[in-house]
Amino acid sequence: MANDPANQKQFAEDVAALAAGSGDSYGNLGDPKGDFKMPSVDEVWKLIEQMDGISDEEKANLKENLYNPQEGSAEDFMRRYAQPGPVHSSWDYAIFFAMIAIIVLLFALFGYKLYKSLMEKELKKKEKLKTKQAKKSKKTN
């Protein structure tokens, strides 16, 4: 469900409908009479102060969020934080493949230089051996 955009949209719509008080049967889960009253910020803060398992830093953060809520609706929150992951553009892939191509070309260049150097050394070794054999054959004649 977390990666299903259709379910995320439905969830956001359900939350918005419950927040608006659409009279749905789910809206009164905690209150059988149906006259639920949202607690005030001060009442919520008093409850938070009574909690033992919360550090002072967390309490300060909660107090800041209670008295100075961030602007934006539930839809903005869902849009901002419910993304399944980063979305890559074609430029991202093009840059990635260009970098891979440059690295491959560098390896090919260094490989070619190494091959050329080794072949030159072997050629020089053969020429040296030929000159030694030529000198040896001149001595014996």
Q: What residue ranges do the domains of the chain occupy? A: 5-81, 93-141
Tell me what the mean pLDDT of segment 38-67 comes to: 81
Can you give the pTM of this predicted structure? 0.36
Q: pLDDT tier at 49 (50, 70, 90 boundaries)? A: confident
- Percent of the chain past pLDDT 70, that is, above it, reads 71
- Are the CB atoms for 68 and 45 separated by under 8 Å? no
- Structure confidence at residue 94 (pLDDT): 94
Q: Phi first, then psi: give them for residue 119, nearest 5 degrees.
A: -65, -40
Where b means 16+ CB within 10 Å and e means fewer, 115-125 reads eeeeeeeeeee
Helices (H), the chain: 5-20, 41-50, 56-67, 74-81, 90-140
The pLDDT mean for the chain works out to: 79
DSSP annotation string for 128-141: HHHHHHHHHHHHH-
- Residue 103 pLDDT > 80: yes
